Amino acid sequence: MTSAPPVAPAPPAARAAAPATPRGVPRNRLTLGQRWKVALRRHWQLYLLTVLPLAYFVIFKYVPISNAIIAFKDYSPVLGVWGSPWSGWANFANMIQNPVFPTLVQNTLILSGYAILASFPIPLILALALNEVRHRWFQKTVQMVTYAPYFISTVVVVSMLILIMAPRLGILSQVFGFFGVPSPDFLGDPDYFRHIYVWSDVWQTAGYSAVIYMAALSGIDPSLYEAAKVDGASRLRKIWHVDIPGIMPTAMIVLILSVGNIMSIGFEKVFLLQNPLNLGQSEIIATYVYKLGILNADFGTATVVGLFNSVINLVLLLIVNWVAKRISGSGLW
């Protein structure tokens, strides 16, 4: 009877590549705790990189959530969050009964919706157009010119807008005066506020957002373009049947995140462009919370308004993510 030939031991490289599992236990039979230990031993460097970002979110995002209890208290800075007396639903009643509150919600929704409708398609169109440019120097120049405004601070952008649109000394006023036409009061007329805010924001962020779509376009399989060329597809047909479906998942995620922040429109730019003349359309939830909570020291009602703002954002995020998954199959989760 012949014996089986001896099995050569695994080379060191193969032994090093084998999963670090407890001896004699198949990987698929490990408990959850054992799997975590194996993952930590094998990828501890990657987990170490996540420590600081996780600490940031825990300290500055999740721990402050506990202070939302101020909405149910008659908050006093002297007594602190937990020492202040309970007020029940009084702060919520103050918010609902406030005659300004419906106007705040309306202004916030209109301004945010306008910003999304304007800022979502323009970077997409810009990315598709730049992707079709054959001269690389022209593509890089346009990309740099449109990307550069993103690095200008909001204060500088508002200062530029004031210099351009000031009633008597602004550049536009002098241009109108040169032709003998009276200049509109762009900064004082409430009807101009939303247009100034939205289109200056589009100018500032379109190039940055287009980079995201261009990165998605670079990941499209080149064989799809070759197949479209063989079929005799024109440039417009390739854009419609190859480019747009290829970047649609990225576009859906950007749209979902934009709608999820529809009630959290930027405070800084609105506040800097705000003045007593355009207050009817420029007063939004973010600026009202600042004035109510910081300037008037009504911390309870300000917390209720901010909490309402966050809940609406969450509901809209869930709804839009569900609709996007049903329509396109792409979503955040």
Per-residue pLDDT of 279-323, as tens digits, reads 888 898 888 888 888 888 888 888 888 888 888 888 888 888 888
CA distance linking residue 331 with residue 333, whole number of Å:
5
CB 214 within 8 A of CB 126: no
In the chain, the amino acid numbered 249 is P
Q: Which residues pair with 73 in a beta bridge?
A: 86
> How far is CA 148 from its chain centroid?
19
Q: Give the pLDDT confidence score for residue 235 in this predicted structure.
A: 85
Report pLDDT for 6. Answer: 53
Q: Which residues of the chain have pLDDT under 50?
A: 1-4, 8, 13-20
Q: What is the pLDDT, as a whole number, of residue 14?
A: 44
The tokens for 11 are: 């080379």
Structure tokens at 72: 């149910």
Tokens 């409430």, residue located: 190
Query: Residues near 217 by Cβ (< 8 Å), separated by ≥ 6?
Result: 127, 128, 131, 243, 246, 247
What's residue 122's pLDDT?
Answer: 93
* Neighbour count for residue 163 (Cβ, 10 Å): 12
Q: Which residues contact 183 (CB under 8 A, 6 or more apart)?
A: 167, 170, 172, 173, 175, 176, 177
pTM of the model: 0.77
> What pLDDT is recorded for position 18?
44
